């Protein structure tokens, strides 16, 4: 599906995770000197007039489908802003967007194998992933929690002893549950499914006792399915996960374009309104998450503005 890029206007977790995010996520960099050749990704975009955005079908409000089956979301709006900046960089105002479906399991290979140019989902930036892909500046911070039925007594990791927990394959949440299982000798039955929607459905069908993924995604699924009276998000954070837009590693010019986009959004005070559009206001699909921006994330957005100001 092709669509022209559109112009954007732009729970609290431990502050320590932002230190990690600062190390893992991209830091400001200057754009490549005018006149030098384009990096491979940008050269291909200029040649084809197309930017390929990887999207997720069931990661609201970051990346999901509206009632007409079109990809929408917070991460996609950020990526569409990057596309506009790419157009400036390659001097092409006619760029089109091609949306390519990815899953939690194949999203990283989609980037490294040149199937997509930007991955616009709900992807955690960590040291392991940073060895093979690059990340944008921080766009969100989440953490692993549990979704359980309202009647469930599960509220802590130790309550999971001998229970069945579903995780979405290829996520950091899967790793987190294996760590918790070993740490507390829980004897968990850790079940994997291909995507968040199928993981959610396994809990709905009573096939598992809990669904473990990032808290914001759990709230999004509950809101989307209007099941606030049936399910709850519970427990302490079992991991901390800074999110970023993924793109190919080893392309300084592309990295500079991505970072410049974030600095412009930060300088224009567009990031907080964009956050509020997707996390506080009513979504195009009708539901409302009602999750105000955390102090930590707001400070991270302000830091982008400060960076822009100091570079002038």
Q: Report whether 275 contacts 293 (CB < 8 A).
A: yes
pLDDT above 70 for 26: no
Q: What is the pLDDT of residue 180?
A: 96
3-state helix, strand, coil in the chain (%, to 5): 40, 20, 40
Cα dihedral sign, 72-75-81-87: negative
Nearest-angstrom CA–CA distance, 253 and 140 = 24
| 220-251 residue pLDDT tens | 999 999 999 999 999 899 998 999 999 999 99
Domain ranges of the chain: 2-139+244-310, 143-240
Beta carbons of 85 and 136 less than 8 angstroms apart: no
| Other Cβ atoms closer than 10 A to 111 | 24
Q: Cα-flanking dihedrals φ and ψ of residue 73, to 5°? A: 140, 170
For 143-240, which CATH superfamily applies? Answer: Periplasmic binding protein-like II (3.40.190.10)
Q: Which pLDDT band, with edges at 50, 70 and 90, does 268 fall under?
A: confident
Q: Could you give the CA distance from residue 244 to residue 125 in angstroms, rounded to a whole number? A: 6
Average pLDDT taken over every residue of the chain:
88
Contacts 24+ apart (CB under 8 A), 176-180: 176/144, 176/212, 176/238, 176/239, 177/144, 177/212, 177/238, 180/238
Residue pair 257/85 in contact (Cβ under 8 Å)? The answer is yes
Same fold, 2-139+244-310 and 143-240: yes
Q: What is the pLDDT of residue 50?
A: 98
Q: Are the CB atoms for 37 and 299 separated by under 8 Å?
A: no
CA distance readout (Å), 183 to 101, 220, 232, 243, 310: 35, 29, 25, 25, 45
**CATH number for the 2-139+244-310 domain, one of 3.30.70.270, 3.40.190.10, 3.40.50.1220, 3.40.50.720?**
3.40.190.10
Coil, strand, or helix at residue 209? coil
DSSP, res 208 = -
Residue 281 scores a pLDDT above 70: yes
Tokens standing for residue 251: 């392309």
Residues 101-138: tens digit of each pLDDT: 999 999 999 999 999 999 999 999 999 999 999 999 99
Six-digit token string for 136: 């944008």
Report the predicted TM-score, pTM, of the whole model to 2 decimal places. Answer: 0.82
Listed residue (155, 114, 111) closest to 129, CA to CA? 111
For residue 37, what pLDDT is reported? 86
Least confident of 70-79, 137-146, 161-170, 295-304: 295-304
Q: What is the pLDDT of residues 132-153, one digit of tens each?
A: 999 999 999 999 999 999 999 9
Question: Is 11's pLDDT higher than 60?
Answer: no
Angle between helices 295-310 and 252-267 (to 10 degrees): 110
What pLDDT is attached to residue 296?
A: 84
Percent of the chain having pLDDT more than 70? 86
**3-class state of residue 270 by DSSP:** coil
pLDDT at 80 over 60: yes
Q: Average pLDDT in the 53-76 region?
A: 96
State yes or no: pLDDT of 43 exceeds 90: yes
Whether the pLDDT of residue 53 is over 50: the answer is yes
pLDDT of residue 305: 76
**Helix runs in the chain, H state only:** 16-24, 40-48, 74-89, 107-112, 172-184, 196-204, 215-225, 252-267, 271-279, 295-310
Question: Which of 190, 211, 209 is closest to 199 using CA atoms?
Answer: 211
**Cis peptide leading into 61, omega within 30 of 0?**
yes
| SS3 call for 71 | strand
CB distance 82 to 257 below 8 Å: yes
Q: Each residue of 191-215: pLDDT tens digit? A: 999 999 999 999 999 999 999 999 9
């Amino acid at each position: 599906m092709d669509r022209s890029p559109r112009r954007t206007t732009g729970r609290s977790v431990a502050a320590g995770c932002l230190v990690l995010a600062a190390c893992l996520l991209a830091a400001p960099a200057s754009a490549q000197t005018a006149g030098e050749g384009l990096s491979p990704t940008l050269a291909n975009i200029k040649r084809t007039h197309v930017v390929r955005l990887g999207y997720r079908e069931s990661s609201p409000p970051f990346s999901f489908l509206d009632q007409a089956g079109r990809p929408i979301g917070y991460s996609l709006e950020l990526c569409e802003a990057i596309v506009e900046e790419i157009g400036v960089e390659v001097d092409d105002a006619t760029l089109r967007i091609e949306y390519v479906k990815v899953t939690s399991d194949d999203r990283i290979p989609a980037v490294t194998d040149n199937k997509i140019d930007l991955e616009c989902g709900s992807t955690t930036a960590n040291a392991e992933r940073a060895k093979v892909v690059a990340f944008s500046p921080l766009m969100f911070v989440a953490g692993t929690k549990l979704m359980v039925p309202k009647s469930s007594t599960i509220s802590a990791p130790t309550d999971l002893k001998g229970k069945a927990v579903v995780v979405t394959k290829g996520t950091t949440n899967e790793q987190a549950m294996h760590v918790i299982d070993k740490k507390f000798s829980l004897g968990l039955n850790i079940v994997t499914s291909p995507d968040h929607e199928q993981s959610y459905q396994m809990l709905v069908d009573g096939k598992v006792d809990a669904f473990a993924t990032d808290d914001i995604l759990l709230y999004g699924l509950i809101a989307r399915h209007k099941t606030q009276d049936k399910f709850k998000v519970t427990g302490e954070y079992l991991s901390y996960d800074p999110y970023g837009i993924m793109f190919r590693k080893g392309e300084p010019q592309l990295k500079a374009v991505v970072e410049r986009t974030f600095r412009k959004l930060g300088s224009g005070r567009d990031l907080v309104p964009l956050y509020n559009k997707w996390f506080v206001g009513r979504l195009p699909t009708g539901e409302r998450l009602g999750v105000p921006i955390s102090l930590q994330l707001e400070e991270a957005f302000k830091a982008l503005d400060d960076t822009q100001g100091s570079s002038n």
